[in-house]
Chain A
Amino acid sequence: MAREAITAREVTKVYRARGAATTAVQDFSITVGEGEFLSLIGPSGCGKSTFLRMVAGLIRPTAGEIRIRGELEEGGRERSWRDRPLTAMVFQEYALFPWRTVIENVGFGLEMRDMPRQEREALAARYIEKVGLRRFSGYYPYQLSGGMKQRVGIARAFCNNPEIMLMDEPFGALDAQTRTVLQQELLRIWEEEKKTVLYVTHAIDEAVLLSDRVIVMTAQPGTLKAVVAIDFGRPRDLKLKTSSRFAELEYMIWQLLEEEVTRTLRGET
């Protein structure tokens, strides 16, 4: 972790609607190391998805700044995204383009970067292979199950070769079994690709299994509550869940979260 992939300094986001102001994220500062897998966890509405979208450059912070590899989000984007985009996002809702087949979805980012058809289809095919969907590359999204759709979403993001992967509760809409299979696949692909990942999740066990560090956020307005280092080696697999250290970490994170979740449920925020 010699270099910093993401540096966020006192990032604040305030939404204004009909005169009322809601602070979604307040004075949130983190750094994510090069090649690190970092998870954000927090109660519903704590602004973790908002933060992710600010890193993606989809929305602007009200105050503070986010740098990716030392460059400011906006300036850096225009200069370099054709060679190498700063971020690629995986969405909870999959967000596949229904009118594009699997291979056309996976190659979308490359197409926007004007890569010639043959080249981008070869590259897309490689990532489709990686997620085990080779036979489905001509299928449209409506012909796929939820788990398959999210495999396409993951392939699409990796295929665009971003500096940073942003994953917004990617398995949140999947059933528990499919989720477990996909977590393992993500571990495998991530270990092959060695990308910096910023991962938003509700599931503590998922955060512990996948991450190098877990950031616990407070209830709204979201800000940093605690940083938990996950001291397991790599490569990891599901067997990790049987260790007592895993249970310990899970419980520790839950203790940090409990107060925040209760506060959210009581509507105190």
Chain B
Amino acid sequence: MKGEQVFSEPGPKTPALKGEPRSLAARLTEGPLSASFQILSPLAALLVWEAGVAAGLMDRRFFPAPSTIFVALGQLLGTGELLDHLIISLSRMAAGFLLGSIPGILLGLLMGWFRLLRALLDPLVAATFPVPKIAILPLVMLIFGIGELSKVVIIAIGCFYLVLISSMAGVRNIDPVLIEAARNFGARGRRMFWKVVLPSTLPAIFTGLRLSLGVSLIVIVAAEFVAANRGIGYLIWISWQTLTTEHMYVGILVIGILGILFTYGLERLGKAVMPWSVDFRTFRE
């Protein structure tokens, strides 16, 4: 076969050969050691903190020792109280996230593709997007009551904008030559949209989703500070009022862990949905 010679062409992604000498940095940041390496600096910080409290250098009313916090975490887990708060916060976030993201993706794609729609709606988006979502929480509560719905709605609004803006930008950044190729090979109308526009926009959509997960965390905590009697935000707020600082830290810790899990989970999902995306491989870098 004449084309056989191409098989030896090195692909652009050839992995480093086994046994090739690697630098210390490469060995610590890639491969099996990387997980233990990454945990090094947070662990050191905790140790310094613990020692600082033990030595009386830090005020334990404001900075309870990590060991105290972990005991509190155990207690809150044991009584089921923490799980209760967690579930309610997560379900508010999930509902708001879905309610905001799905219309955001659709409208963003449409606004990216149809110039007229974009010209019509872009000024409205540009004018309302910068308003901090928390600023309109009282208004949302006025309209939707102080129950669950208002918290879901405020998260949905936050997610909606971010996903809309990144999907729209994604469509506008499609390489025009891809559209030309698709047209030349017979893609028209709906098929152009589903088979070409949507897949080329997926990486941008995922970026929007990642941003909006972060914003959901911020918004849910803030909303639960002022207008809830359950949830992680509520736990932090009530612990401040009752001066049970270690519970406050438990709440903050949980939020941090959620942030990591969301980013990681979405990255995994992205790789599964877009095994072809080079951009997505460097998602976290």
Q: Which residues of A come within 8 Å of B, CB atoms?
A: 53, 56-58, 81, 85, 87-89, 91, 93, 95, 97-101, 108-109, 111-113, 131-133, 135, 140-145, 147-148, 151, 156, 160, 181, 185, 188
Q: Is the CB of B181 within 8 A of A143?
A: no
Q: Which residues of B come within 8 Å of A, CB atoms?
A: 1-7, 9-13, 175, 177-178, 180-187, 191, 195-196, 199-200, 202, 274-278
Q: Is the CB of B184 within 8 A of A97?
A: no
Can you add 11 more A-B contacts, CB < 8 Å, to A91-B180, A144-B11? A56-B184, A81-B186, A88-B184, A91-B177, A93-B177, A95-B177, A112-B195, A132-B1, A132-B4, A144-B12, A185-B3
Which of A91, A98, A112, A188 sits near B276, CB closer than 8 Å?
Answer: A98
**Minimum CB distance partner of A108 in chain B:** B185
Q: Is the CB of A145 within 8 A of B9?
A: yes
The dominant DSSP class at the B interface is: helix
Task: List, in ascending order, chain A residues with CB within 8 A of B10's CB.
Answer: 145
Q: How far is the CB of A139 from chain B (nearest CB, A)?
A: 8
Q: How far is the CB of A251 from chain B (nearest CB, A)?
A: 31
Closest A-B pairs by Cβ, 3 of them: A132-B3, A112-B186, A95-B181
Task: List, in ascending order, chain B residues with CB within 8 A of A185's CB.
Answer: 2-3
What separation, in Å, do the CA atoms of A88 and B185 have in the docked complex?
7
Q: Is the CB of B9 within 8 A of A147?
A: yes
With A89-B181, A89-B184 in contact, do A141 and B276 touch (Cβ < 8 Å)?
yes
Task: List, in ascending order, chain B residues with CB within 8 A of A81's CB.
Answer: 186
Q: Is the CB of A91 within 8 A of B181?
A: yes
Please name 7 pairs of A and B residues whose Cβ atoms are closer than 8 Å in the assembled complex, sorted by A. A53-B180, A91-B181, A132-B3, A132-B6, A142-B13, A147-B9, A156-B185
What separation, in Å, do the CA atoms of A148 and B11 have in the docked complex?
10
Q: How far is the CB of B200 from chain A (nearest CB, A)?
A: 7
What separation, in Å, do the CA atoms of A113 and B191 have in the docked complex?
11
What separation, in Å, do the CA atoms of A95 and B4 have in the docked complex?
24
Task: List, in ascending order, chain B residues with CB within 8 A of A133's CB.
Answer: 3, 6
Task: List, in ascending order, chain B residues with CB within 8 A of A57's CB.
Answer: 184
Task: List, in ascending order, chain A residues with CB within 8 A of B177's CB.
Answer: 91, 93, 95
Q: How far is the CB of B180 from chain A (nearest CB, A)?
A: 6
With A81-B186, A112-B185 in contact, do A95 and B6 touch (Cβ < 8 Å)?
no
Task: List, in ascending order, chain B residues with CB within 8 A of A142's CB.
Answer: 12-13, 276, 278
What separation, in Å, do the CA atoms of A181 and B6 have in the docked complex?
10
Q: Is the CB of A87 within 8 A of B184?
A: yes
Q: Is the CB of A131 within 8 A of B178?
A: no
Q: Is the CB of A112 within 8 A of B191?
A: yes
Task: List, in ascending order, chain A residues with CB within 8 A of B275's CB.
Answer: 140
What separation, in Å, do the CA atoms of A205 and B118 have in the docked complex?
48
What separation, in Å, do the CA atoms of A143 and B276 have in the docked complex?
9
Q: How far is the CB of A113 from chain B (nearest CB, A)?
A: 6
Q: Is the CB of B4 within 8 A of A143?
A: no
What separation, in Å, do the CA atoms of A141 and B278 have in the docked complex?
10
Q: Is the CB of A148 within 8 A of B6?
A: yes
**Max chain A C-beta neighbours (<10 A), residue from B6, B9, B180, B184:** B184
What separation, in Å, do the CA atoms of A56 and B178 have in the docked complex?
14
What separation, in Å, do the CA atoms of A99 and B194 have in the docked complex?
12
Task: List, in ascending order, chain B residues with CB within 8 A of A132's CB.
Answer: 1-4, 6
Q: Is the CB of B186 within 8 A of A85?
A: yes
What separation, in Å, do the CA atoms of A109 and B195 have in the docked complex?
12
**Minimum CB distance partner of B3 in chain A:** A132
Q: How far is the CB of B5 from chain A (nearest CB, A)?
A: 7
Which of B11, B186, B199, B200 sits near A113, CB closer than 8 Å?
Answer: B186
**Minimum CB distance partner of B9 in chain A:** A145
**Minimum CB distance partner of A156 in chain B:** B185
Which of B5, B184, B186 sits near A58, CB closer than 8 Å?
Answer: B184
What separation, in Å, do the CA atoms of A144 and B277 have in the docked complex?
13
**Minimum CB distance partner of B281 in chain A:** A142
Q: How far is the CB of A232 from chain B (nearest CB, A)?
A: 21
Task: List, in ascending order, chain A residues with CB within 8 A of B191's CB.
Answer: 112
**Minimum CB distance partner of B196 in chain A:** A97
**Minimum CB distance partner of B186 in chain A:** A112
What separation, in Å, do the CA atoms of A91 and B176 have in the docked complex?
12
Q: Is the CB of B2 within 8 A of A188?
A: yes
What separation, in Å, do the CA atoms of A98 and B278 have in the docked complex?
9
Q: How far is the CB of A19 from chain B (nearest CB, A)?
A: 20
What separation, in Å, do the CA atoms of A89 and B186 have in the docked complex?
11
Q: Is the CB of B11 within 8 A of A145?
A: yes
Q: How far is the CB of B37 from chain A (nearest CB, A)?
A: 28
Q: How far is the CB of B176 from chain A (nearest CB, A)?
A: 10
